[in-house]
């Protein structure tokens, strides 16, 4: 994604007709990129939070109950899995190393299911990006071997001048 964003930013700067507006073109392109990235991140976080709230308990609770954890300890074990602190784990009544192992494995499975949904949500943005890339201008004619300004011929500043 970062590579594509850099190419888009470069194209925005290359395709302007008046090079005096290079700052405005680069700034506008960077602003659009930041807005799109922020929107995508907000959508991904919302999808992940909503799916995780469903997939993690659905995976963990049946697994730990089958492993022998008391029903009253299901809420504390979900909290312990999320926090991961020794205090949170010690609050789980009836926890054994085997039950903890089962809980961690089920937690990872539930998170994996939630992240699959985020990946599917990203396909919508990917499809939109591919469609919009078809509207990008052709920059082949602008990429030549001619150099407008060479920095090699500049004389160094006199560093001893007061």
Q: What is the DSSP string of 56-101?
A: HHHHHHHHHHHTT--GGGHHHHHHHHHH--HHHHHTSTT--HHHHH
Q: pLDDT tier at 115 (50, 70, 90 boundaries)?
A: very high
pLDDT greater than 70 at residue 132: yes
Q: How far is CA 106 from the centre of its chain?
A: 24
Residues listed for the chain: 162
Taking residues 107-127, report their average pLDDT. Answer: 94
Q: pLDDT tier at 154 (50, 70, 90 boundaries)?
A: low
The DSSP call for residue 151 is: S
Which pTM does this prediction carry?
Answer: 0.72
Domain boundaries, the chain: 2-138
Computed over every residue of the chain, the mean pLDDT equals 87
Q: pLDDT tier at 158 (50, 70, 90 boundaries)?
A: low
CB 22 within 8 A of CB 16: yes
Question: Which has the higher per-residue pLDDT, 15 or 77?
Answer: 77
pLDDT at 159: 56
pLDDT at 148: 67
pLDDT greater than 70 at residue 96: yes
d(CA 80, CA 103): 10
pLDDT greater than 90 at residue 44: yes
pLDDT at 110: 97
Which two structure tokens, joined as six digits, stand for 50?
């909503």
pLDDT at 3: 66
pLDDT at 81: 97
Helix axes 22-66, 2-14, angle to 10 degrees: 170
Beta-carbon count within 10 A of 158 CB: 7
């Amino acid at each position: 994604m970062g590579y594509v964003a850099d190419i888009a930013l470069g194209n925005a700067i290359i395709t302007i007709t008046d090079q005096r507006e290079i700052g405005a073109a680069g700034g506008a392109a960077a602003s659009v990129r930041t807005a799109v990235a922020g929107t995508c991140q907000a959508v991904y976080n919302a999808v992940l939070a909503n799916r995780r709230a469903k997939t993690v308990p659905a995976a963990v609770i049946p697994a730990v109950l089958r492993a022998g954890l008391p029903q009253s300890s299901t809420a504390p074990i979900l909290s312990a899995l999320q926090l991961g602190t020794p205090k949170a784990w010690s609050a789980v009544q009836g926890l054994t190393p085997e039950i903890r192992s089962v809980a961690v494995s089920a937690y990872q499975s539930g998170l994996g299911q939630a992240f699959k949904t985020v990946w599917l949500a990203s396909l919508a943005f990917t499809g939109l990006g591919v469609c919009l890339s078809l509207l990008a201008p052709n920059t082949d004619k602008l990429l030549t071997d001619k150099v407008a300004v060479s920095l090699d011929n500049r004389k160094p500043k006199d560093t001893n001048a007061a």
